[in-house]
Amino acid sequence: MVLDQPSKDIRRSIISMIEGERRGHFGPAMSAVEMLRVLYDSFLRYRTDEPLWPNRDRLILSKGHGCLALYATLAHKGFFPKNELETFGKANSRLGGHPEWRKVPGVEATTGALGHGLSIGVGMALAGRIRKQSYRVVVITGDGELNEGSVWEAAMSAAKHKLSNLTVFVDYNKLQTYGPTCEVLDLEPLTEKWRSFGFEVEEVDGHDVNALERLMTRLPLNPQKPTAVICHTVKGKGFPFAEGKADWHHKSGLSSEEIASMYDCLA
């Protein structure tokens, strides 16, 4: 899948963040760019000048280490100035290595301890129903994160309460910190797992913007069930030297030559 200009622009902003401190979770950010971009472009209802607008849709990046992609997307949509991205990881910056609620405009939950985001999302979706509010809740999880039992406890609760206002996007890049998910703890059959937990499920190329847009027009997939969207992605997408390589999950001490090669890939 060839990257279009908006996807390249977000990736360029991610590099600008990494460039300052020469470190960051590179791979997991690049696999999530398109799903975040399309969610904010075509699905989520929000007001950049009123981040806590009561009727906004809520997005929780449960894989908080992928926050470089979230920060870049929020800045491109106008939640805060783009030049603030260059402060990432610096002393006194509000853009830390994991997103923090009430600190960064547009961030709905403090995440990073993996396995918590779906539980938070279930609570938000239930609260919306109880309060008779029409907002929707989206949770983005990593595939390695699905090793956490709390994810499946939350999934059972979501199905029990028929939370059709809740959608889970799984960033299925098939790699986690130290190796392939199929070797660390095999997730397959992943589609059938989510179905067995009471979700309506669909698979999609997580880098195909048009396919993501078409799918989002159909959400919820079932008015009586929560939805799980399994996004087949590539860790480090857009950078041949990093694609599909677990050692690019997080990088520190990046050289000027490595930074330059990142920019070259987007030329």
Question: 3-state SS string over the chain?
Answer: CCCCHHHHHHHHHHHHHHHHHCEECHHHHHCCHHHHHHHHHHHCCCCCCCCCCCCCCEEEECCHHHHHHHHHHHHHHCCCCHHHHHHCCCCCCCCCCCCCCCCCCCCCCCCCCCCCHHHHHHHHHHHHHHCCCCCCEEEEEECHHHHCHHHHHHHHHHHHCCCCCEEEEEEECCEECCEEHHHHCCCCCHHHHHHHCCCEEEEEECCCHHHHHHHHCCCCCCCCCCEEEEEECCCCCCCCCCCCCHHHCCEECCCHHHHHHHHHHCC
pLDDT of residue 178: 85
Residue ranges covered by each domain of the chain: 5-265
**What fold, for 5-265?**
Rossmann fold (3.40.50)
pLDDT of residue 179: 93
> What percent of the chain shows pLDDT beyond 90?
98
pTM exceeds 0.95: yes
- The yes-or-no verdict on residue 2 having pLDDT over 90 is no
- The yes-or-no verdict on residue 1 having pLDDT over 80 is no
Summarised one tens digit per residue, pLDDT across range 129-188 is: 999 999 999 999 999 999 999 999 999 999 999 999 999 999 999 999 989 999 999 999
Summarised one tens digit per residue, pLDDT across range 29-56 is: 999 999 999 999 999 999 999 999 999 9
- For residues 51 and 54, give the distance between their C-alpha atoms in angstroms, rounded to a whole number: 9
pLDDT of residue 10: 98
Mean pLDDT, residues 225-238: 98
In the numeric block, the tokens 């939350």 are attached to 154
pLDDT of residue 112: 87
- The yes-or-no verdict on residue 18 having pLDDT over 90 is yes
